[in-house]
């Protein structure tokens, strides 16, 4: 199970990356294995397409 703080960090990195962040970059930055990073990126991308506004609100709340 991945800590919620790592999810918020991953969301922030994926949303704010100028280019697409790679699985290996995300794995290194949040200290998870590449399979976990891949899963997280896939889930974040799915959320971006289905619930972009909610995802942005969650991220804004976490930063404040």
Q: Any residues with CB less than 8 A from the CB of 33 and at least 6 apart, and which?
A: 27
Q: Is it the case that residue 64 has pLDDT exceeding 60?
A: no
What was the pLDDT predicted at 30? 97
What was the pLDDT predicted at 62? 63
Tens digits of per-residue pLDDT, 8-58?
899 889 988 878 899 999 999 999 999 999 999 999 999 888 988 887 787
Q: Is the pTM of this model over 0.95?
A: no
What was the pLDDT predicted at 39? 97
Number of domains in the chain: 1
| Domain that residue 17 falls in | 4-63
């Amino acid at each position: 199970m991945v800590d919620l703080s790592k999810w918020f960090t991953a969301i922030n990195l994926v949303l704010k990356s100028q280019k697409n962040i790679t699985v290996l970059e995300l794995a290194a930055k949040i200290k998870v294995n590449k399979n976990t990073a891949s899963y997280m990126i896939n889930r974040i991308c799915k959320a971006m397409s289905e619930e972009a506004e909610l995802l942005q609100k969650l991220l804004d709340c976490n930063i404040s």
